[in-house]
Structure 1
Amino acid sequence: MTLDVVTLLNEIAEIGRDPVRGGYSRHVYEPAELELREWFRRTSTGLGLEVETDRNGNIWAHWGRGDGAIAIGSHLDSVPGGGAYDGPLGVASSLAAVAALMEEGFVPARPVTIAAFGEEEGSRFGIACLGSKLMTGALPAATVAALTDDAGVTYAEACLADGIDPAGLGRDDERMASLAAFVELHVEQGIGLADLDAPVAVASSILAHGRWKLVFSGEGNHAGATRMRDRRDPVAAMAAAVLAAQRIASAHDGADSARATIGRLTPIPGGTNVIASRVDAWLDVRGDTDPQTRALLEEILKASHASAEEHGCTLEVVEESYVSTVHFDPDLQQRLVGALGGVPVLATGAGHDAGILAAEIPTAMLFTRNPTGVSHSPYETATDEDCRVGARALTEVVRLLTSEPRK
């Protein structure tokens, strides 16, 4: 059975379109993402793969069973108003790669399994890569189960939408022991390949990165009746913190990589003619190494506390997640580079499920060219030809890794 990666992406092109933001909003266990899950199950079954959903809500499509399996795949969920390729390209490419090997009569010497991980973006429950973090035990199951979305629905309650028993959440030792390696293909979330004029690359590392919730508290009051000098406006304090984060990260983003973003904020109560009493904001900080990232964070938080004090407000900071710098398995990385004819090797500033699994098993990533470098946006793109080149590269990787007998 032939499966073309572009055709597969076209099959899901209308699922989860966001009429307000543009692009796609496909959040874990909500209708659009559930429809994508069903598409993945149906397509995998059509290939003759054995499909199961694990205790943490990740879906697996198996070509053979047993230990020493080579896992490929990605995720199906998106950020609010995200692009068409972030996540689904890796899943569709994995399906196309397995189909291509099946069609030519290739018989793998070890099992192959395609993974579709849950809540990679963290858009609904605030923490990225929840499916892989639960599976590896990187986060306590009880902590994840108690997370709530904007509507007050807990992660435990949301799991039930796909028939997942929340009592079973947590590290999956049996599954981890069955995997020999994981390779994730992803659209590049940067412009490195476009600059190099190359369609495919192998990843070297992922920047250290974390998310912090900043709660600026002031005094709610009337926008028309309160003199400017009498205000304790947390929105003004937060705005100064946003500019400080931009200024500080820009000053460090030279020889080293430094990233700082406040991309989400919620003023309370949120009225046009109301001075807010509180603003919740989320800070994303990334850097080459843990010390660099922590130093950058400390500098930004110092400036944020100063802006809160200047505006008569207080600031509370809560760390929601943190992932240290990931260096992908060097042996696996070099083998992939060799198998693909010496493709470029690139670092990335974006987090991935592969980065979580890297602490447990040999892990690698392939990137498909993004001609503009824009991602997490409706304007994310990749050409049909590059998508096909990426899927063919993944096919060769699976061939390489499954031609070796199990140890």
Structure 2
Amino acid sequence: MGAPRGSGAVPRFWQGQTPKTTLDPALAGDLCAMFSEIEGVGGPGEDPSRGYTRSAWTAQDLALRDWFARRAGSLGLRVGTDSAGNQWAWWDSPHGPRTAVTCGSHLDSVPSGGAFDGPLGVISSLAAVASLQRRGLTPSCPLAIVNFSDEEGARFGIACVGSRVLTGVLDAERALGLVDAEGREAREILREAGQDLSAYGADPELLASIATHIELHVEQGRALADKGAPVGVATHIWPHGRWRIDIGGEANHAGTTPMGDRDDALVAAAALILRVREIALARGARLTVGRLGIEPGATNVIPSRVRLWVDARAGDSATLDAALADLAEWSPLNESLTPATSFDEDVRERLCAASTRVLGAATAEGTAAGHDSGILQDAGVPCGMIFVRNATGFSHTPREYATLADCTAGAAVLVETLEERTRAR
């Protein structure tokens, strides 16, 4: 078995970089080939500043899901979808509880996002399996690659929907009742995409079969760049969540209503947004208002209601709780909350050992970004993460960037870890 060899195509963002100059030219060639294959899906066209828009369950996301199934099938993997809509590609072997080794990430994106957030983890996992097959590995346990659905939460407002539903953290009925910006319910959208809603929900049996899950991801900051390290191993994830605040006012005519007689919900929301920033600075937290819903939404009508969402994160739970307490008078409604997550110590040590064998050193760091692997870890699945250096330090923007050499180094650490975990004994 083995993946079809690439045509030598190099995606636009790696033009001028060649696989021959990397740690593993064959592995780098696979990365180039696969990124080239998906480059045009929801992509920037002739304007790189537009980034990639691949929201969950849109035509772009469905095209990527089809691509994943084809690519995994070319490796001889058995492809299927779990009860939460996540795709799995299995390299099977005799198994039982806590025997499977899994890896992967997601393919959806935020609006106008970067090329690497999510796809790098999925593509690296596919390339890693191809590399293991070239080495003639016969795994002693099941090995699977996952493409988690709706990780970014850009469409329905809740991040990591696929992993949250899979683990039962997010109730199936609540997930199906989520509504996008066009007023369409997730239930309708998933049904149109072919998802079996009769069985939609958690899958404890699948979770119980996983002995180790590893997620490779581009770093969403510049810690590795500052340390001069191409690859890092995650230690923990900050506690984080999303809260919704509704602010009421009174609609009236924009021309005939004197300024002093107005009850403008958006003016009140603007004051709150400034207060959110003040609280974050005072508490040492990270609070962001990145989404607003304004009613009735007409240029010549004074806003009667504003719904805004606060993304809240902090280095520890006490700091996060204190920041949220400062917002209590606005009655924020929690829509998702992920506690501080420490990754499995054994998995972390294996990743550090693999990094040392491949690169001569290991760099460990925490992250303020949420990930599906954090959801699985909190559900009792032993997890670990590999970070690839982000040369710009920017994330959730077209400026996000990782070199071919660094991406190959990260994928090589993944290959080493998977081989060590699945080698026949």
How would you bin the TM-score normalised by the shorter chain?
Answer: over 0.9
Question: Could you list the per-position Cα deviations for residues 313-364 of structure 1 after superposition, in whole angstroms to 9, with x for gaps in the alignment?
Answer: xxx5321111101100112111211221131111111100000000221100
Residue 339 of structure 2: aligned partner? 324
Residue 381 of structure 1: aligned partner? 401
Query: Is the 8 Å Cα contact of residues 138 and 424 (structure 2) preserved in structure 1?
Result: no
Query: Is the 8 Å Cα contact of residues 6 and 388 (structure 1) preserved in structure 2?
Result: no
Within 5 A, what are the aligned runs for 1:226-245? Answer: 226-245=257-276
Report the 3-state secondary structure (helix = DSSP H, G, I; strand = E; otherwise coil) of the residue aligned with 1:73: strand
Identity of aligned residues (%): 45
Aligned residues: 389
1:48 matched to 2:79 = no
CA distance in 2, matches of 1:201, 1:6: 22
CA distance in 2, matches of 1:330, 1:37: 32
2:413 to 378, 393, 399: 393
Within 5 A, what are the aligned runs for 1:29-40? Answer: 29-40=57-68
CA distance in 2, matches of 1:317, 1:9: 41
Q: CA deviation at 1:404?
A: 6.5
Report the 3-state secondary structure (helix = DSSP H, G, I; strand = E; otherwise coil) of the residue aligned with 2:111: coil
Gaps of 5+ in 1: 306-315
Which amino acid in 2 is paired with 1:241?
A: L
Residue 298 of structure 2: aligned partner? 271
Residue 181 of structure 1: aligned partner? 212
Residue 87 of structure 2: aligned partner? 59
1:337 matched to 2:357 = no
Gaps of 5+ in 2: 6-28
Within 5 A, what are the aligned runs for 1:3-82? Answer: 4-17=30-43, 22-65=50-93, 66-67=95-96, 68-82=99-113
1:218 matched to 2:249 = yes
Which amino acid in 2 is paired with 1:348?
A: T
CA distance in 1, matches of 2:327, 2:391: 32
Question: Could you list the per-position Cα deviations for residues 106-154 of structure 1 after superposition, in whole angstroms to 9, with x for gaps in the alignment?
Answer: 2222111000000111111111111111111111111111111122222
CA distance in 2, matches of 1:90, 1:348: 16
1:251 matched to 2:279 = no
Which amino acid in 1 is paired with 2:236?
A: S
Which amino acid in 1 is paired with 2:297?
A: G
CA distance in 1, matches of 2:136, 2:197: 40
Which amino acid in 1 is paired with 2:397?
A: S
1:352 matched to 2:352 = no
Q: 1:404 to 1:219 in 2, by over 3 A?
A: farther
Q: Which moved more, 1:218-227 or 1:127-136?
A: 218-227
Report the 3-state secondary structure (helix = DSSP H, G, I; strand = E; otherwise coil) of the residue aligned with 2:50: coil
Report the 3-state secondary structure (helix = DSSP H, G, I; strand = E; otherwise coil) of the residue aligned with 1:214: strand
Q: CA deviation at 1:301?
A: 4.0
Which amino acid in 2 is paired with 1:339?
A: A
Query: Is the 8 Å Cα contact of residues 137 and 423 (structure 2) preserved in structure 1?
Result: no
Q: CA deviation at 1:384?
A: 1.4
Q: CA deviation at 1:161?
A: 3.0
Which amino acid in 1 is paired with 2:235?
A: S
Q: Which moved more, 1:51-60 or 1:143-152?
A: 143-152
Q: CA deviation at 1:86?
A: 0.6
CA distance in 1, matches of 2:215, 2:221: 16
CA distance in 1, matches of 2:187, 2:254: 40
Residue 281 of structure 1: aligned partner? 308
CA distance in 1, matches of 2:248, 2:186: 27
CA distance in 2, matches of 1:10, 1:274: 47
Q: CA deviation at 1:280?
A: 1.2
Question: Could you list the per-position Cα deviations for residues 174-233 of structure 1 after superposition, in whole angstroms to 9, with x for gaps in the alignment?
Answer: 211211110000000011111011110000111111101111110112222222221111
Q: CA deviation at 1:375?
A: 0.6
CA distance in 2, matches of 1:181, 1:172: 17
Report the 3-state secondary structure (helix = DSSP H, G, I; strand = E; otherwise coil) of the residue aligned with 2:293: strand
Q: CA deviation at 1:18?
A: 5.8
Report the 3-state secondary structure (helix = DSSP H, G, I; strand = E; otherwise coil) of the residue aligned with 1:275: coil
CA distance in 1, matches of 2:208, 2:60: 32
CA distance in 2, matches of 1:393, 1:97: 9
Report the 3-state secondary structure (helix = DSSP H, G, I; strand = E; otherwise coil) of the residue aligned with 2:229: coil
CA distance in 1, matches of 2:118, 2:337: 21
Q: CA deviation at 1:55?
A: 1.6
TM-score by length of 2: 0.88
Query: Is the 8 Å Cα contact of residues 6 and 387 (structure 1) preserved in structure 2?
Result: no
Note the aligned Cα RMSD (angstroms).
Answer: 1.6
Q: CA deviation at 1:271?
A: 2.2
